[in-house]
Structures are given as C-alpha cells and as structure tokens.
C-alpha cells in the first residue's frame, strides 16, 4: 500500500473511522516492526481526525514510557495507576475523560488538553503492552463511537 491516506473530511465520524480502519489495516499488514507500526498508526489518526495529541506509551516494569506520538511534547514516564493512562493500564479498561480538569489525579502534559480517551493495547498473550492516548483541546470530544472504533484499530498493532 502506498503510504498515503484518503479520508473524506466531509464524512461523519463513523464513516471516517470506517475509511481509516481499512486503510490502517492495509498500512500495518506487512510491517513487523512494532515502533514503525505505532508511528504510522499515530500519523494516520492525527491526519484522519486532526486530534491535538495521539501517542503510545509502552509498558516497562511498573511504569509507562513514552513511545511514538504526533503532537506537542509529552510526559515521558507515568507510573501504573497514576493519571488517566496509568489507571487505564491498571484497570485494563478504556477510559473516556470528558473534561480533564474534573478527573481526579489527571496528569497534565499540556494545558491545552481538555478531554482525552485512553485505550489499553493487548499483546498476543493478553497482557497490556501499550497504552494509546488521544487528547483534544475541547471538552466532550470523545464518545462511544470513538471507543468502538479505536478499540478495533488498536487490535491491528499486534
């Protein structure tokens, strides 16, 4: 596949995700390197939806370590159970935060981030290996549609 995405900006969110899903699947299908997959995955989401920040954190011992991302400089390390990313890892659940200012223990890497969705990424053994973190500059930016399609998309990583 050519490394060029075709996302119709006039489509609704569901249709955009459907377009992105098929293209990301093709983009990652023949790549074995995990870092390369994560990098193109982030670029595809940033390009397809123009999110403020899209990135991965890798599980390393008892902390998350920053991986490939698109957007402004980010927090480098997050302890398990801390902030939204550390909590999603600990609970092994997707977390949608409508307003980060109202989330107890939120770790602010950028004051411009107002809402966030965090998706655990499970490896082939069923363990959380990565965390996908997506931030937006508006409150209430994420919903069940994002949750559904982002969960499908992260399954393409491993």
- pTM of the model as a whole: 0.94
Residue 44: partners with Cβ closer than 8 Å, 6 or more residues away: 5, 20, 23, 24, 27
What is the full per-residue pLDDT of the chain (158 aa) written as tens digits?
Answer: 456 788 877 889 999 999 999 999 999 999 999 999 999 999 999 999 999 999 999 999 999 999 999 999 999 999 999 999 999 999 999 999 999 999 887 887 778 899 999 999 999 999 999 999 999 999 999 999 999 999 999 999 99
Consecutive H or E run containing 147: helix 144-154
Which sequence spans correspond to the domains of the chain? Answer: 13-154
Structure-token pair, residue 38: 């994560």
Classify domain 13-154 by CATH architecture: 2-Layer Sandwich (3.30)
């Amino acid at each position: 596949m050519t490394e060029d995405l075709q996302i119709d900006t006039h489509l609704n969110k569901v249709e955009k995700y459907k377009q992105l899903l098929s293209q990301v699947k093709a983009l990652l299908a023949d790549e074995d390197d995990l870092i390369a997959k994560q990098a193109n995955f982030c670029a595809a989401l940033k390009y397809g939806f123009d999110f403020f920040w899209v990135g991965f954190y890798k599980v390393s011992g008892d902390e998350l370590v920053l991986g490939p991302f698109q957007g402004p400089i980010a927090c480098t390390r997050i302890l398990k159970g801390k902030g939204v990313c550390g909590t999603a890892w600990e609970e092994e659940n997707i977390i949608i935060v409508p307003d980060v200012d109202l989330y107890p223990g939120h770790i602010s890497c950028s004051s411009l981030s107002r809402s966030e969705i965090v998706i655990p990424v499970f490896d082939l053994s069923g363990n959380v290996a990565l965390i996908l973190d997506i931030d937006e500059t508006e409150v209430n930016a994420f919903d069940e549609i994002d949750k559904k399609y982002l969960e499908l998309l992260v399954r393409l990583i491993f």
